[in-house]
Chains A and B, each alone.
Chain A
Amino acid sequence: MSKIKFIEASGAEHVVEAKDGQSVMQAAMDNLVPGIVAECGGFANCATCHVYVDEAWGAKVPPPEPNEKDMIDCAFHVQPNSRLSCQITVTPALDGMVVRLPISQTGE
């Protein structure tokens, strides 16, 4: 189990217990964290699970695969620390990680 803190664009915080081996997206889903839509169910097809990985944790998260990178480059409200949360696997090294959510996953 690792703790992950999700911070909505409004500032609302949600700290969840994530299971090691699951994705950060799934940890949000299991705990009904608002702001992550995850239309494709975790297969890097939709970019509606977009998050900003807090700077302090960036180096601890393995870099994106090319497909994820391409999706992110053209997502909405992109920042240098943007990632698809379905492509980040929870490990003990990520215990305490903070991720922030964009204003909207769909640009609307």
Chain B
Amino acid sequence: MRENVVIVGAGQAGGELATGLRQRGFSGSITLVGDEDHPPYQRPPLSKGFLMGKIPQEGLYLKPHETYGRFDITLRLRTRVESIDRASKHAVLSDGSRLPYDKLALATGGHARRLSLPGIDVGRLENVFSLRSIADVESLRGAFVPGRRLVIIGGGYVGLEIAAVAAQLGLNVTLLEAAPRLLARVTGPEVSAFIEGVHRSHGVQFRLSAEVRGFSLDASQRQAVGVDISCQGVQERIDADLVLVGIGLVPNTGLASAAGLAVDNGIVVDEFACTADPSILAIGDCANQPSAYTGGRIRLESVPNAIEHARVAASTILGQREPSTATPWFWSEQYDLKLQMVGLSSGYERCITRGDPSSKAFSAFYLKGSRILAADVIGRPADFMAAKRLVTGRTPVEPERLADEGIPLAKVAA
């Protein structure tokens, strides 16, 4: 009997699972169902080169449309999976059809977290945007005009990347961040201060420790003309022609919970990407998985995780059980800076830097005892490659040697 695999969500993880199964010789049927207009594409350039206008839309596609047909993968775009009938093992689609499955993989990603403000339906304002998809960039593009005042709410990587593009395109950018420093959850103060300085030198303004109190609307009530904030007790209105909200992602778990599967900051899966129902898997941004790296549970939002998790799921579907051992890593691009991050720094005791921030090339290593938990690398790609090994190998290092630029990173092990 030919096995049916149905994948819900034609994003990075779903696309990777579909093609990975074929690559590894899976001969059953594969149907990839996605509610967007596009075949699986890369999101990272959305807030970088694509927003900047440097990459064409097809340049985002992971594979051209025709590749799926050529490898006998049925791609159903502009179609939502509305529910899962676990008893009869069917996915129910928005066009009314029912797809039988032997294995169902949820690769539903997430949606931008909505800003909730009393008395205002932020989602209905015409000049307030979020950035998650090609469609989001398309609707934002028209408003991205030199000289306009852009207010960005949220100082994470995506918000900062958009600030960099906007500043380079000639918009006047003000970025609001609730924490006292940028990237507070993911980096140390050294890197936060460096990033802030780079943006300021490009004219970006910041309000840190800023609490958004409300929006001022125009007479039609359809446009925001200002963002009202409270900054360490001081009230202020930041005038705006457009507003971008970048306050994080909420995993798409609705299908799973409606089907009675466990959800806790993501769809709960085991180390083989399986939910409690052995026929249903979940991968990528929407999944909460055990982590070999932290020893606990983790939900990651990154491309390397989506690819690795798809590989784990393909193994499971092929009957070879191979848990993930990957170390989380991530990258960002702002202006001409290349940032590469590996590991998770939470719980670090000290930070050791190499190189000189004023030369825009330095690395920050986050240590717990003699172990490097994580590293942020700016403009020193060789450090990143070395740091990835040290973090992955849990290699004990001598902190004094780590701080000494004269000693190659490969030789800092204790």
Which chain A residues have a beta carbon within 8 Å of chain B's beta carbons? 29-32, 34, 37, 39-41, 43-47, 67, 70-71, 73-75, 106-108
How far is it, in angstroms, between the C-alpha of A10 and the C-alpha of B22 when the chains are bound? 18
Contact indicator per residue, chain B 308-340, by CB within 8 Å of chain A (1) or not (0): 000000000000000001100101010000101
Query: Do A67 and B325 touch (CB < 8 A)?
Result: no
CB-contact partner of A74 in B23, B45, B63, B385, under 8 A = B385
Query: Do A45 and B331 touch (CB < 8 A)?
Result: yes
Residues from chain B with Cβ under 8 Å of A41 in the complex = 42, 44-45, 62, 303
Residues from chain A with Cβ under 8 Å of B71 in the complex = 32
Is B389 an interface residue when CB atoms closer than 8 A count as contact? yes
Query: Do A71 and B385 touch (CB < 8 A)?
Result: yes
CB-contact partner of B382 in A37, A44, A70, A106, under 8 A = A70
Which of A30, A41, A44 neighbours the largest number of chain B CB atoms within 10 Å of its CB?
A41
How far is it, in angstroms, between the C-alpha of A34 and the C-alpha of B23 when the chains are bound? 6
Closest residue on chain A to residue B307 by CB atoms: A39
Distance between A22 CB and nearest chain B CB, rounded to angstroms = 10
Is B353 an interface residue when CB atoms closer than 8 A count as contact? no
Is B386 an interface residue when CB atoms closer than 8 A count as contact? yes
Query: Do A107 and B45 touch (CB < 8 A)?
Result: no
CB-contact partner of B381 in A30, A32, A70, under 8 A = A70
Closest residue on chain A to residue B332 by CB atoms: A45
Which chain B residues have a beta carbon within 8 Å of chain A's beta carbons? 19, 22-24, 42, 44-45, 62-64, 67, 71, 303-304, 307, 325-326, 329, 331, 333, 338, 340, 380-382, 384-386, 389, 392, 410
Query: Do B307 and A37 touch (CB < 8 A)?
Result: yes
Query: Do B44 and A29 touch (CB < 8 A)?
Result: no
Query: Do A32 and B23 touch (CB < 8 A)?
Result: yes
Closest residue on chain A to residue B393 by CB atoms: A107
Residues from chain B with Cβ under 8 Å of A70 in the complex = 380-382, 385
Distance between B336 CB and nearest chain A CB, rounded to angstroms = 11
Closest residue on chain B to residue A39 by CB atoms: B304
How far is it, in angstroms, between the C-alpha of A46 and the C-alpha of B338 when the chains are bound? 12
Query: Do B62 and A29 touch (CB < 8 A)?
Result: yes
Residues from chain B with Cβ under 8 Å of A29 in the complex = 62-63
Taking A32-B23, A45-B381 as known contacts, 8 extra A-B pairs with beta carbons closer than 8 A to each other, sorted by chain A number, are: A31-B67, A32-B22, A34-B23, A41-B62, A71-B381, A71-B382, A71-B384, A74-B382
How far is it, in angstroms, between the C-alpha of A67 and the C-alpha of B24 when the chains are bound? 32
Could you pull out 25 A-B pairs where Cβ atoms are within 8 angstroms? A30-B64, A32-B71, A34-B23, A34-B24, A39-B304, A40-B303, A41-B42, A41-B45, A43-B44, A43-B331, A43-B333, A44-B381, A46-B304, A46-B331, A67-B338, A67-B381, A70-B380, A70-B381, A70-B382, A70-B385, A71-B381, A71-B382, A73-B385, A74-B385, A74-B386
Query: Do B307 and A73 touch (CB < 8 A)?
Result: no
Distance between A96 CB and nearest chain B CB, rounded to angstroms = 22
Closest residue on chain B to residue A32 by CB atoms: B23
Contacts A29-B63, A40-B331: A47 and B42 contacting too (C-beta < 8 A)? no
Nearest first, the 4 closest Cβ-Cβ pairs linking A and B are A74-B385, A70-B381, A70-B382, A39-B304
Contacts A34-B24, A39-B303, A46-B304: A73 and B62 contacting too (C-beta < 8 A)? no
How far is it, in angstroms, between the C-alpha of A74 and the C-alpha of B411 when the chains are bound? 13
Query: Do A75 and B64 touch (CB < 8 A)?
Result: no
How far is it, in angstroms, between the C-alpha of A95 and the C-alpha of B63 when the chains are bound? 21
Closest residue on chain B to residue A41 by CB atoms: B42
How far is it, in angstroms, between the C-alpha of A31 and the C-alpha of B68 when the chains are bound? 10
CB-contact partner of B67 in A32, A45, A46, A74, under 8 A = A32
CB-contact partner of A32 in B19, B333, B380, B389, under 8 A = B19
Residues from chain B with Cβ under 8 Å of A32 in the complex = 19, 22-23, 67, 71
How far is it, in angstroms, between the C-alpha of A101 and the C-alpha of B117 when the chains are bound? 53
